[in-house]
Amino acid sequence: MTDIAELETQTLAAIAAAADEAALEAVRVGALGKKGGISALLSTLGKMSPDERKTEGAKINALKDRAAEAIAARRDVLQAQALEKRLSAETLDVTLPVQETGQELGRIHPISQVMDELTAIFADMGFSVAEGPDIESDDYNFTKLNFPEGHPAREMHDTFFFAPGEGGKRKLLRTHTSPVQVRTMLSKAPPIRVICPGRTYRCDSDQTHTPMFHQVEGLVIDETTHMGHLKWALEEFLKSFFEVTSVKMRFRPSFFPFTEPSAEVDVQCRRQGGDIRFGEGEDWMEILGCGMVHPNVLRNCGLDPDKYQGFAFGVGIDRLAMLKYGMSDLRAFFEADVRWLTHYGFRPLDFPTLAGGLSG
């Protein structure tokens, strides 16, 4: 009798003192397991008289049930405490600012962004992208484009020449993307419809000029393309690029050795303070050069000018970026200042498309 009462007191105290589920399990094994205290008591029943067995058996079984109940109740409490502890340790403040990973912190340079925008716009009109090297021959950069030796137009390009190589010929850093026209006509049969974005170089530096800058060239050659098509293509391009519903353009007669007739295109705009808006206003801004490809250039590139004709245009990409995104100093584009890039750069996954939006 005392045995049973004592065992109950001890067992219940141990259950109450169990600090976690593992400790509680140890108590359970110590009391109800095969070698446990209560199980040991039960095994004494065999040696008792039938009457004794009846009364003692009932008491021991009742103790066993109470112990099992107390263990189950304690387990519920311990499980609830453990859950509570885990929940408070794993709380998340959803109002904290999101920490961006390195990949999300990176920015696309405005020049790359504008090149991607131009590519999206012209790809939609059926143009493909052609590229050429930064180091060019004098022949491709000038002669084949109808700049005769000694022509004053050559001087206007402030060319970076390399030291003369074999045969005394000097290579140069291309001063415009027009040599890619030559390369394209020499390597592909018409119909040709390409844009050629890339780096160009001239010995010049101030707020709006850097020795390295970017241009995109356009070239269309077939048997029927005329200036009306040129005008349409430029208008579509400017509307898409500046994301406006209409643009007014003005074609001013000009001179480029590689086009005849040649024109410079101004776009209607409004200047307000430091801001420029396109698609409205009374001001004009010069934006690109263009024209019909000169018969001499076609001939120099192996095409018969009596059969083939087409247009070309050339635009400064950096200037387009400055006009669209409002930067005033071109030099900052190339200073690799992370603060500038964080401010003016674009998110890498917001790739420009005509369907999804060009500038995000």
Residues that bind ligand DAH (CB under 6 A): 176, 178, 217, 256, 259, 289-291, 312-314
Helix extents (H) in the chain = 2-17, 21-32, 37-43, 50-89, 102-105, 110-124, 138-141, 152-155, 179-187, 227-242, 295-300, 317-325, 338-344
- Provide the token pair at 150: 């000694």
The CA-CA-CA angle for residues 68, 69, 71, to 5°, reads 65
Residue closer to ligand DAH, measured from CB, 27 or 288: 288
Residue closer to ligand DAH, measured from CB, 12 or 312: 312
Q: Residues with Cβ < 8 Å from 275, sequence gap 6 or more? A: 326
**Smallest separation (angstroms) from ligand DAH to the CB of 301:** 13
Taking alpha carbons only, the member of 223, 220, 230 closest to residue 262 is 230
**Smallest separation (angstroms) from ligand DAH to the CB of 263:** 8
Long-range contacts of 67-75, Cβ-Cβ distance < 8 Å, separation of 24 or more = 67/8, 67/11, 67/12, 67/15, 67/31, 67/32, 67/38, 68/32, 70/11, 70/12, 70/15, 70/16, 71/15, 71/24, 71/27, 71/28, 71/32, 74/15, 74/16, 74/18, 74/24, 75/21, 75/24
- With tokens 């716009």, the residue in question is 121
Q: How far apart are CA 348 and CA 360, in angstroms?
A: 11
175 within 8 A of 209, measured Cβ to Cβ: no
Residue closer to ligand DAH, measured from CB, 256 or 333: 256
Residue closer to ligand DAH, measured from CB, 243 or 286: 286
Residue closer to ligand DAH, measured from CB, 121 or 288: 288
**Smallest separation (angstroms) from ligand DAH to the CB of 319:** 12
Phi, psi torsion values for 91, nearest 5 degrees:
-65, 150
**Smallest separation (angstroms) from ligand DAH to the CB of 217:** 5
Amino acid at 247: V
**Smallest separation (angstroms) from ligand DAH to the CB of 312:** 3
Residue closer to ligand DAH, measured from CB, 261 or 279: 261
Residue closer to ligand DAH, measured from CB, 31 or 238: 238
- 3-state SS class at 183: helix
Phi, psi torsion values for 335, nearest 5 degrees:
-95, -5
Residue closer to ligand DAH, measured from CB, 311 or 346: 311
**Smallest separation (angstroms) from ligand DAH to the CB of 328:** 22
Torsion of CA 239, 240, 245, 247, to 10 degrees: 0
Q: Residues with Cβ < 8 Å from 255, sequence gap 6 or more? A: 153, 262
Residue closer to ligand DAH, measured from CB, 225 or 259: 259
Q: How far apart are CA 19 and CA 44, in angstroms?
A: 32
**Smallest separation (angstroms) from ligand DAH to the CB of 176:** 3
**Smallest separation (angstroms) from ligand DAH to the CB of 340:** 26
**Smallest separation (angstroms) from ligand DAH to the CB of 101:** 41
